[in-house]
Amino acid sequence: MTIGLAHFLVISGVLLALGLYCLVTRRNAVALLMGVELVLNAAILNLVAFSRFGRGLDGQVFALFGIVLAAAEAVVALAIVLQLFRAFRSVDTREAAELKE
């Protein structure tokens, strides 16, 4: 038996679906961020898998950039969540729907 490209793509697909579930059902902003991280991990896993089973390292370099962007996104999003909590005393995205304090 061989572990092929499809194995990794299936894992990535399941990760994407679970992240999406997290995104559509949660109202807590931090939990939404976790869903985004799951989706990003699924995408990066795809890049690395294609890089391994294709030829060349371009996929891995792109995955590296993707990880850096994910870190940057998490930092800014968490700073915003912190401000959201200061303004509304909660991280419920429904309460933040009105854009005034």
Partner 1 sequence: MANSPGAIAVFYLFAAVTIAGAGWVAFSRKIVHSAFALLATFFGVAGLYAFLAADLLAVVQLLVYVGGILVLILFAVMLTSRIGALQVSNPSLRTVPGLIICAVVAAISIVVAVRVFGHDAPAPAEATTAKIGHALLSTYVLPFEVISILLLAVLLGAVTLARGHQRDED
Position 29, amino acid = A
Does residue 78 interact with partner 1 by CB under 8 A? yes
Number of residues binding to partner 1, judged by CB under 8 A: 74
Report the C-alpha gap between 82 and 18 in whole angstroms: 25
Does residue 24 interact with partner 1 by CB under 8 A? yes
Report the C-alpha gap between 14 and 64 in whole angstroms: 22
Instruction: Select the residue interacting with partner 1 from 57, 98, 99, 100 (CB under 8 A).
Output: 57
Note whether 96 and 84 are within 8 A (CB): yes
- The residue (of 2 and 99) whose beta carbon lies closer to partner 1 is 2
Does residue 95 interact with partner 1 by CB under 8 A? no
Does residue 68 interact with partner 1 by CB under 8 A? yes
Instruction: Give least dist CB 100 to partner 1, A.
Output: 15
Report the C-alpha gap between 44 and 64 in whole angstroms: 8
What's the farthest any 2 CA atoms get from each other in the chain? 60
Does residue 43 interact with partner 1 by CB under 8 A? no
